[in-house]
Amino acid sequence: MSSILVVGSVAFDSVKTPFGEADDVLGGSATYFSVSASYFSPVNVVGVIGRDFTNEHQGVFKRHNIDTSGLVQTDGETFRWKGQYGYELNEAQTLDTRLNVLETFDPEIPDSYTDSAYVFLGNIDPVLQSRVLDQIKSPKLVACDTMNFWIDSKLDDLKRTLARIDMLVINDGEARMLSGEANLVQAANKIRAMGPERLIIKRGEYGVLMFNEDSIFGAPAFPLEEVFDPTGAGDTFAGGLMGHLARAGDMSDSTLRQAIVFGSVMASFNVEAFSLNKLSALTRTDIQGRFEQFKQLTHFESL
């Protein structure tokens, strides 16, 4: 079983939804990803935190056996984000962003991480994503996330990063923005021509689409009675996806499809509570049980 390197943000979030609110709770792309992936494979995290990040907060990583040798603590405050969601829960309205120590973040990859086989570049400046890749020896799989801010402000830098990766994980709005195409099939063709062999498009309550050279695969979102907070769902999805791929050790089409469903399983748990309250308390039985429910949800007999 190979370990996964994730580079991204560690944050404190303040979130309000129609179903409640939570202030200064643990969040960040690297946090959600690493906890999710830890149920499948060993995880090494690289990020930056401030002096306000306590031992209690770091305990979340320790309980999941996540290696935090690359988590650097510096003077200042940890990155903070504040947002709210309406009833549709598809997209957050950002109320406040304070980069704090993340503003000067320049990831240094520990020597023990440079031979990582599986690498996930969280949603950070594409220039920094490329710098990470400069420090990695010969990864088996590099996956990447990005957002509309980088597509709009640093498109050339982002394209240089995309030319070096194997898999891109973005939402449908970002796919349309990056490609300039409204149709997702046409958008996928254009984006894959930029470098990533595989494109995974997250569609919120409508599920996920995966585009390979030879196939397209779709998985639904899991129907839930209660959804409290979608913050971090995309990073949680990516963690389950990469975790299963690293555990399986191959990139066959069947394994990729399983990984999509495991990612969807992890995201479905994440949205059932604020912060990592549900995600960090799962068991492998919980995960496998919902995976089997996913199979039943989509199963049908051929004619």
**Residue linked to tokens 């000067």:** 104
List, for residues 156-187, the tens digit of each pLDDT value.
999 999 999 999 999 999 999 999 999 999 99
Mean pLDDT of all residues in 9-26: 94
pLDDT at residue 280, as a whole number: 96
Cite the beta strand spans of the chain per DSSP E: 4-7, 11-17, 20-27, 43-49, 67-73, 79-84, 93-98, 118-121, 141-145, 167-171, 198-202, 208-211, 216-219
Q: What is the mean pLDDT of the chain?
A: 95
Tell me how far apart the alpha carbons of residues 38 and 284 are, in angstroms, rounded to a whole number.
Answer: 11
pLDDT at residue 285, as a whole number: 98
Q: Which of 160, 180, 178, 182 is nearest to 169 (CA)?
A: 178
User: Which pLDDT band holds residue 1 (cuts at 50, 70, 90)?
Assistant: low
By CB atoms closer than 10 A (0-12, 13-18, 19+), residue 188 is buried
3-class secondary-structure state, position 141: strand
pLDDT at residue 179, as a whole number: 98
User: Which pLDDT band holds residue 89 (cuts at 50, 70, 90)?
Assistant: confident
pLDDT at residue 226, as a whole number: 84
Axis crossing angle, helix 184-192 with helix 172-179, rounded to the nearest 10: 60
pLDDT at residue 205, as a whole number: 85
Q: Tell me how far apart the terminal alpha carbons of the chain are, to the nearest angstrom.
A: 39
Please state the separation of Cα 292 from the chain's center in Å.
Answer: 22
Query: What strand order describes the sheet that includes 67-73?
Result: 67-73, 43-49, 4-7, 118-121, 141-145, 167-171, 198-202, 208-211, 216-219
- Domains plus CATH for the chain? 4-298 (3.40.1190.20)
User: Which pLDDT band holds residue 277 (cuts at 50, 70, 90)?
Assistant: very high
More confident residue, 217 or 299: 217
**Residue linked to tokens 């503003």:** 103
List, for residues 220-273, the tens digit of each pLDDT value.
999 998 889 999 999 999 999 999 999 999 999 999 999 999 999 999 999 999
pLDDT at residue 141, as a whole number: 97
pLDDT at residue 92, as a whole number: 83
Tell me how far apart the alpha carbons of residues 229 and 224 are, in angstroms, rounded to a whole number.
Answer: 12
pLDDT at residue 100, as a whole number: 96
Mean pLDDT of all residues in 37-62: 96
pLDDT at residue 53, as a whole number: 96
List, for residues 64-73, the tens digit of each pLDDT value.
999 999 999 9
**Whats the size of the chain, residue-wise?**
303
